[in-house]
Amino acid sequence: MDCKNLAFEAEWYDEESGLNRTFTMIYFPESNQVQLFEPRTNKMFLKKSSVDGLKPSDIYVGSEVTILARQFWLKAFGDDYTRRVLECKNEQTFAMVHPDCVRKMGTVFAEIQKTNLRIRAATLAKLTEAQALEFYREHTGKPFLPALAQYLTSGPVLALQLQGEGAVRIWRGMIGDTDPAEAQPDTLRARFGTSKTQNGFHGSDTKEDAMREINSFFPENDRTDHRVAPITSAHLKDCTCCIVKPQAFLDGKLGPIIDSIFEAGFNISGLEVIRFNRVKASEFHEVYNGVLYEFADMVAQLQAGPCVALEITWPRTLMPGRDLITQEPMSEGDNSKFKHASQDIVLAFRALVGPFDPELARKLRPNSLRAKFGEDKVRNSVHCTDLPEDGVLEVEYCFQIMRR
- pLDDT of 219 reads 80
Claim to verify: residue 288 and residue 362 sit in the same structural domain: yes
Last residue of some domain: 232, 254, 283?
A: 232
How far is it, in rounded angstroms, from Cα 224 to Cα 229? 7
Number of domains in the chain: 3
Residue 40 included in any domain: yes
Residue 151 included in any domain: yes
For residue 381, which of 347, 353, 402 has the smallest C-alpha distance? Answer: 353
Instruction: For residue 167, give Cα distances in angstroms to 118, 162, 328.
Output: 9, 7, 44
How far is it, in rounded angstroms, from Cα 335 to Cα 178? 46
Residues recognised as catalytic = 202
Claim to verify: residue 125 and residue 221 sit in the same structural domain: yes
Residue 256 included in any domain: yes
Claim to verify: residue 95 and residue 83 sit in the same structural domain: no
Instruction: Compare 1 and 247 and report the one with higher pLDDT.
Output: 247
Per cent of the chain over pLDDT 70 is 90
CATH classification of the domain holding 305: 3.30.70.141
Mean per-residue pLDDT for 252-267? 97
- pLDDT of 223 reads 40
Last residue of some domain: 232, 263, 298?
A: 232
Claim to verify: residue 206 and residue 261 sit in the same structural domain: no
Local confidence band at 305 (pLDDT 50, 70, 90 cut-offs): confident
The amino acid that residue 212 corresponds to is R
Has residue 269 got a pLDDT over 60? Answer: yes
Mean per-residue pLDDT for 25-32? 94
Has residue 62 got a pLDDT over 60? Answer: yes
The tens digit of pLDDT for each residue in 207-251 reads 999 999 999 999 864 443 443 467 899 999 999 999 999 999 999
Local confidence band at 277 (pLDDT 50, 70, 90 cut-offs): confident
- pLDDT of 338 reads 41
The tens digit of pLDDT for each residue in 91-145 reads 999 999 999 999 999 999 999 999 999 999 999 999 999 999 989 888 888 888 9
**SS3 state of residue 310:** strand
Poorest-pLDDT segment among 11-15, 236-240, 349-353, 358-362: 11-15
Mean per-residue pLDDT for 62-87? 89
Angle between helices 254-263 and 105-112 (to 10 degrees): 170
Claim to verify: residue 56 and residue 111 sit in the same structural domain: no
Claim to verify: residue 223 and residue 98 sit in the same structural domain: yes
Claim to verify: residue 175 and residue 248 sit in the same structural domain: no
For residue 233, which of 124, 316, 106 has the smallest C-alpha distance? Answer: 124
Residue 112 included in any domain: yes
How far is it, in rounded angstroms, from Cα 354 to Cα 370? 6
Claim to verify: residue 74 and residue 208 sit in the same structural domain: no
- pLDDT of 118 reads 94
Claim to verify: residue 210 and residue 245 sit in the same structural domain: no
Last residue of some domain: 180, 198, 232?
A: 232
Mean per-residue pLDDT for 39-53? 90
Instruction: For residue 346, give Cα distances in angstroms to 225, 265, 392.
Output: 30, 14, 10
The tens digit of pLDDT for each residue in 354-394 reads 999 999 999 999 999 999 999 999 999 999 999 999 999 99
- pLDDT of 333 reads 47
Local confidence band at 54 (pLDDT 50, 70, 90 cut-offs): confident
Claim to verify: residue 271 and residue 227 sit in the same structural domain: no
What contacts 24+ positions apart, CB below 8 Å, involve 13-20? 13/71, 13/277, 13/279, 15/278, 15/279
CATH classification of the domain holding 33: 2.30.29.170
Residue 82 included in any domain: yes
Residue 1 included in any domain: no
Local confidence band at 317 (pLDDT 50, 70, 90 cut-offs): low
Claim to verify: residue 214 and residue 271 sit in the same structural domain: no
- pLDDT of 52 reads 85
Expressed as residue numbers, the domain containing 39 is 6-87
List CB contacts of 318: < 8 A, sequence separation 6 or more: 265, 324, 338, 341, 342
- pLDDT of 329 reads 57
Residue 295 included in any domain: yes
Claim to verify: residue 341 and residue 192 sit in the same structural domain: no
8 CB burial (10 A radius; 0-12, 13-18, 19+): buried
> Mean pLDDT over all residues of the chain?
89
Instruction: Compare 336 and 152 and report the one with higher pLDDT.
Output: 152
